[in-house]
Structure 1
Amino acid sequence: MAEARDFQAAQYAFAAHIRDPEHRPAPSDVEERRMAIYRELFFNNISGFLADTLPVLHSLLPESHWQAMMRDFLVRHRCHSPYFLDIPREFLTYLEHDRGARAEDPPFLYELAHYEWAELALSVADEDTPAADPVPGPELLDAQLQVSPLAWPFNYRFPVHRIGPDYQPDAPPPAPTYLLLYRDPDEAVRFIELNAVSARLLALLLEHADEAGYSARQALETITAELDHPDPGVVIAGGRGILADWQHRQILFHPGESAD
């Protein structure tokens, strides 16, 4: 039992040092040359994987900033999953709860990281694109339509899909950005920028997904009332066009026709 405790203590000391070599001493029974290899491999693997997962964010930060943030992530955060693909999700948790506000960080740091993480997460999601026969256009408004599990809506303060070397806003614009990420039948991850109306339509379809008989027409009538629109026909017609486009992209499907 004592040997097991000693071995566990040695493991903890080893892990603590490679996470935080500046403040945690190296195990005395490991050659420094070997320890340096372990430190470098550990740091470079984590940093490199996150750089590949968050390529836009990585490209916008000075390398010294990126390296310091990676080290702070390793020191402050404890991952709760043994899977490498879960590291970006853990990094988001670190940004949200552990890092705190830093003057050197761009104001869009978390949202851009989240957007890039979502692309990865959607690309490896286990769900399949529901197979279904298309609903004829005239019937779209009254059919019970479901949102594909591979269609993920998000709203951001910043237009994260536009951020890059030539566009790095210091403050969010007045209106939020609504994005719908989806995985198409060819397994490619794509996105659509929504406006407030189409985002509300999608939200209503998701909110009432388990409600038998709920239709897009009811959702559009709700939106018309919320907007106090003087011509409901305009909203209905515009909504029908949106639904047709979403069905074409297989973002929507009819549950009665879906394949197992």
Structure 2
Amino acid sequence: MKGFQQVQQCMTDFVRDPDVSPGPAGIEPRRLAIYRDLFFNNIEGFLSNGFPVCRSLYAEDDWYALVRDFMRCHCCQSPYFLRIAEEFLSYLEDRRSAELDPVFLRELAHYEWVELALDIAEDELPPAVGVDDILRVALSVSPLAWSLAYQFPVHHLSVDFQPREPAAEPTYIVVYRNRLDEVRFLEINSVTARLLAIVAQSSGKVSSDVLAEIAGELNVEFSAVVTFGSEILRQLLDLDILLVN
């Protein structure tokens, strides 16, 4: 058994870093190359599909080098293929440091991962409920809606738009999956982000109480926020970002 484990470890080292590890002795190089390429192509393909904008920012050789570095340096904690994207995030956060990487790489990768995570999430939304008076109902944030804040405008990043410094103000985005199982995003402002946070922590408060809390934090009268706040709540409800309790 010890001999088999040694061969297995040798094969693993070769697949992860073929430039350093020669592979198990006695196996035809052509066969070793098949396994090497199979593993690399599967992982590279998954990362390219899961992080298409990140991929577009790199020349082919640089991207392949990044994927190889991920395989070589990161020890995955999950055996499931669908968790590779999450493992890639951990690698970027903990191990990756290269001058050629965009300064916003980690935030962009997180944003793209969120889209994937919501797409495969097993949560199901309850049937829609009609609401006549939005102020009299208690709302909750959908488990398929994630309110996020980034230093960079991640939803605008591309080959042609690559800022070198964070924006003056954070970018607030809700990424969500609706009842049609479509993953969408909505750019919001800091007040709406705070509104969602209060709803998430409200424990059954009706919407009028939530808006009253917002008014108190803004140091304005309730009447100053009720009309606009009601419209925002209605929009979030219609988008399946908020649910009726």
Q: Say whether 1:21 aligns with 2:18.
A: yes
Deviations 1:121-177 (A, max 9, x none): 1011000122131221x2x12311111111111111111001112211111111001
Q: Say whether 1:46 aligns with 2:43.
A: yes
Structure 1's unaligned 5+ residue stretches are: 256-260
**Percent identity between the aligned chains?**
46
Q: Say whether 1:219 aligns with 2:210.
A: yes
Aligned to 1:10: 7
Aligned to 2:110: 114
Query: Which has the higher mean CA deviation after the structures are superposed, 215-224 or 58-67?
Result: 215-224
Q: 1:83 pairs with 59, 74, 80, which one?
A: 80
Counterpart of 1:160, as a letter, is V
Q: Say whether 1:253 aligns with 2:240.
A: no
Q: How many pairs does the alignment contain?
A: 245
Counterpart of 1:168, as a letter, is Q
Aligned to 2:222: 232
SS at match of 2:56: helix
Contact kept, 8 Å, 1:134 with 1:253, in 2: the verdict is: no
Structure 2's unaligned 5+ residue stretches are: none
User: TM-score scaled by structure 1?
Assistant: 0.90
Question: 1:145 and 1:28 mapped to 2: Cα distance?
Answer: 64
Counterpart of 1:48, as a letter, is G
Deviations 1:211-239 (A, max 9, x none): 2x41222222222222223x432212111
Q: 2:120 pairs with 111, 120, 124, which one?
A: 124
Contact kept, 8 Å, 1:130 with 1:148, in 2: the verdict is: no
SS at match of 2:228: helix
Question: 1:29 and 1:217 mapped to 2: Cα distance?
Answer: 74
Question: 2:223 and 2:201 mapped to 1: Cα distance?
Answer: 23
> 4+ residue runs of structure 1 moved beyond 3 angstroms?
none
Deviations 1:193-212 (A, max 9, x none): 0101110000111122xx2x
Question: 1:112 and 1:5 mapped to 2: Cα distance?
Answer: 44
Over aligned residue pairs, what C-alpha RMSD do you find? 1.3
User: TM-score scaled by structure 2?
Assistant: 0.96
Aligned to 1:191: 185
